């Protein structure tokens, strides 16, 4: 057998025996390669904020913000870890690179826009007074509001003429606790939290019978999703995803799932 014949047989029989196992070993790696456009992302939602984000009786994270995060992450093909934080922690966590965006939906104030970017408007928010008496009869009331919220800013401004004592709390659940323990006489709430409190049905029997929309336009606010300023493509893709779920009815379906009336 000459040299050419030996080489030909080696190529025909030996090389496939070596190459095929190598290829088989590569396939699982290729299949497991990250297909996502944005890889792994961290998304923030608020702690103890029914019906936006809360733990159910089994300890599962549920709510409008949680479902919105899942839908958006699927649309932009990202693997997302959802983390609960306080409202006062959202912007700084995103600005410092500890998270990528938040579906807690915040007001894009000038101060916040210096730190992070915002998507297009998700919905229009309004605020409600929930108290023992109407706001016009609230002289010397103690008013509980979530620290860092639009409602807190409004209460500080309006409370001067009514001699209110402002009680800042960490979460919406803490607002309910302050009311039910009679530490506070009233609160100012966003629409979503107001609906949750009404649905729970605890405040009425406890003497909180005055519920009405706050007419001050400074408490009407556009809400949007804060996004890390370092990922321009993420912002663009989230805007496209929001436009899609507004157009195809998915956002309306989320509304109907979590709230008894339209909040969008």
pLDDT tens sequence across 93-149: 999 999 999 999 898 989 999 999 999 999 888 899 999 999 999 999 999 999 999
Does residue 48 fall inside a structural domain?
Answer: yes
Q: Tokens 């999703």, residue? A: 225
- 18 is a domain residue: no
Residue 84 lies in a domain: yes
* Tens digits of residue pLDDT in 69-98: 999 999 999 999 999 999 999 999 999 999
Tell me, yes or no, whether 229 and 215 share the same domain. no
CA dist list (Å): 93 to 22, 90, 225, 226, 237: 44, 5, 14, 11, 21
Residue 201 belongs to a domain: yes
The verdict on residue 35 lying in a domain is no
* Same domain, residue pair 55 and 109: yes
Q: What is the pLDDT of residues 147-196, one digit of tens each?
A: 999 999 999 999 999 999 999 999 999 999 999 999 999 999 998 889 88
Domain harbouring 116, CATH code:
3.40.190.10
For residues 120 and 250, membership in a common domain is answered with yes
Assess whether 120 and 135 both reside in one domain: no
User: Is the Cβ–Cβ distance between 141 and 165 less than 8 Å?
Assistant: yes
Kindly state whether residues 132 and 209 are assigned to the same domain. yes
Report the C-alpha gap between 172 and 192 in whole angstroms.
10
Number of domains comprising the chain = 2
Residue 19, domain member (yes or no): no
Cα–Cα separations (whole angstroms), residue 183 to 93, 104, 153, 178: 31, 27, 20, 5
Shared-domain flag, residues 102 and 135: no
Q: Tell me the whole-structure pTM to 2 decimals.
A: 0.70
Residue pair 190/123 in contact by the 8 Å Cβ criterion: no
**Same domain for 106 and 86:** yes
Query: Per the domain annotation, does 5 fall within a domain?
Result: no
One domain, residues 189 and 254: no
Residue 234 sits in which domain range? 40-124+222-258
Does residue 119 lie within any of the structural domains?
yes
Same domain as 191, residue 74: no
Q: Does one domain contain both 250 and 182? A: no
Residue 242 φ/ψ, nearest 5 degrees: -60, -45
């Amino acid at each position: 057998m000459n040299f050419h014949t030996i080489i030909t047989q080696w190529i025909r029989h030996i090389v496939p025996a070596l190459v095929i196992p190598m290829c088989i070993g590569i396939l699982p790696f290729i299949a497991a390669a990250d297909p996502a456009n944005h890889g792994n992302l961290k998304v923030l939602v608020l702690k103890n904020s029914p019906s936006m984000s809360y733990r159910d009786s089994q300890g599962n994270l549920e709510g409008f913000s949680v479902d919105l995060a899942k839908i958006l992450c699927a649309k932009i093909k990202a693997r997302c870890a959802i983390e609960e934080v306080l409202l006062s922690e959202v912007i700084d966590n995103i600005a410092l690179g500890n998270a990528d965006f938040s579906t807690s939906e915040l007001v894009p104030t000038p101060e916040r826009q210096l730190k992070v970017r915002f998507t297009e408007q998700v919905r229009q928010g309004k605020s409600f007074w929930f108290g023992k008496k109407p706001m016009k009869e609230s002289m010397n009331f103690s008013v509980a509001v979530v620290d860092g919220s639009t409602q807190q800013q409004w209460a500080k401004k309006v409370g001067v003429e009514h001699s209110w004592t402002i009680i800042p709390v960490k979460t919406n659940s803490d607002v309910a606790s302050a009311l039910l323990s009679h530490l506070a006489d009233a609160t100012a709430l966003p629409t979503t939290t107001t609906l949750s409190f009404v649905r729970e049905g605890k405040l009425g029997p406890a003497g909180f019978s005055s519920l009405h929309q706050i007419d001050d336009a400074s408490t009407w606010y556009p809400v949007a999703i804060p996004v890390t300023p370092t990922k321009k493509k993420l912002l663009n893709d989230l805007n496209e995803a929001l436009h899609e779920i507004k157009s195809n009815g998915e956002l309306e379906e989320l509304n109907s799932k979590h709230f008894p009336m339209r909040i969008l």
